[in-house]
Amino acid sequence: MRRPAITSLAAAAVAAALATSCSSPGATASGDGGAKEVEVALITSTSGPLASYGEQYLRGFEAGLDHATDGTGKIEGVEIKVTRYDDGGDPAKGVSLAKKSAGQGVRIIAGTAASGVATQIAPVAAQNKVLYISGPAATDALTGVNKYTFRSGRQTFQDVATAQQILMRQEDGKDGEDGKGKKVVVLAQDNAFGQANVAAVESVLGTDGTTVDSVLAPPSATDLTPTATKVKAAGPDMVFVAWAGDTAQSMWTTLDQQGVLDAATVVTGLDGRASYPVFGKARDKVTLLAHYVPGAIDNPETEAVEEYFGKKGWKTDLFTPDGFNAAQMVAQAVREAGADGDTDAMVKALEGYTFPGIKGENTVRATDHALVQPMFQAEFDGDAPKVVFTVDAQGIAPTEKKIG
């Protein structure tokens, strides 16, 4: 059911609740008239290399809280008070902020954009029995790590499983259906990020007769012709590209010049709006696996976000859904646990919770807290991406883990 339109005054109330607060946080408090509140610490990057991701997340959370509370900032009379913190992408700073918040009685922590920060906050949540809802951090390690940790975004497994679905959908496969007998080459930089992607592709795609090889380039390399030549010489059916940094545009240009984009299906993850021009002329030859494509679906949640963002002069981006989902999860936790802030009650409220988001239906898997959700295959249509195919959530659900 679509939520009723909100007044600008109510929206302003939610925005004010999300403003950075200098007051000391606590789990619950009584305000004027005996009203109760639950405090939430949003810890994410608003500075450093992932600042844009953090901003996308925060805007999504703001819109999500507005939607979940019908613009009031309250759930059944309980005010949700939010304080933002910048971790700068630094695990030590993130841990310090999490410990400080827990020590001051905050029972809900949400964020961050950085996997290295999230994996350090998760143990703090367990130690202090605080509900932790991770943000855009994609590391698989968060799923099932402990009973208090959840996630509001996708994880690496879902990225790679989406690539597998794309491979299976190829109509011109060498050996028939289901991607069997095909060859996948992972093109990445020879660093931790690149090696992690190679491992993920091998674990997901390296089955049922699919061969996975890799071509790893030195992170400092500027002449990428030798790298592109190696990729083409390998004769892949699919090239899975995991690349980051200033050489991305040069990499795509070189792949195009060396004929790689014409010789194989080339798949890479869709990044934020700012990255769209990086593909250059190669964009029409690249298949995109996407966590989110702006305007991917039409539902009441999408309409609510577009309305809210329109008033702010914002545009939805890659990690808008993560913030929006986090706000829905916070609202559900508060709805079931009330202002008492009982963490076990909040955990129970989220396990098995199914709710609509701006990319479709999400389900928090009770057994390990994976967020089962749809993904997308996309391609560029002019200057912007469009959805080619929606990948079913259950078909790319992560392998179940035992909590702890």
Q: Identify the band that residue 233 occupies on the pLDDT scale cut at 50, 70 and 90.
A: very high
User: Taking 50 as the threshold, does the pLDDT of residue 245 lie above it?
Assistant: yes
Q: Is 211 helix (H, G, I), strand (E, B) or coil?
A: strand
Q: Give the DSSP letter of residue 240.
A: E
**Residue 180, pLDDT score:** 62
What mean pLDDT, rounded, does the chain reach? Answer: 88
Please give the average per-residue pLDDT across 310-326, as a whole number.
97
Whole-angstrom distance, CA of residue 216 vs CA of residue 186: 8
User: Taking 50 as the threshold, does the pLDDT of residue 24 lie above it?
Assistant: no
User: Taking 50 as the threshold, does the pLDDT of residue 122 lie above it?
Assistant: yes
User: Taking 80 as the threshold, does the pLDDT of residue 263 lie above it?
Assistant: yes
Cβ-contact 254, 233 below 8 angstroms: no
**Residue 84, pLDDT score:** 98
Nearest CA to 109 among 99, 22, 119?
Answer: 99
For residue 68, the surrounding DSSP H or E stretch is helix 51-68
Q: What are 88-98's pLDDT values in tens digits?
A: 999 999 999 99
User: Taking 70 as the threshold, does the pLDDT of residue 31 lie above it?
Assistant: no
Q: What are 42-87's pLDDT values in tens digits?
A: 999 999 989 999 999 999 999 999 999 999 999 999 999 999 999 9
**Residue 336, pLDDT score:** 94
Question: What percentage of the chain reaches a pLDDT higher than 90?
Answer: 74
User: Taking 90 as the threshold, does the pLDDT of residue 217 lie above it?
Assistant: yes
Q: Identify the band that residue 341 occupies on the pLDDT scale cut at 50, 70 and 90.
A: confident
User: Taking 60 as the threshold, does the pLDDT of residue 215 lie above it?
Assistant: yes
Q: Look up the pTM and report it.
A: 0.86
Structure tokens at 221: 């390399």
Provide the pairing of β-strand 375-381 with 286-290. Answer: antiparallel
Whole-angstrom distance, CA of residue 122 vs CA of residue 144: 10
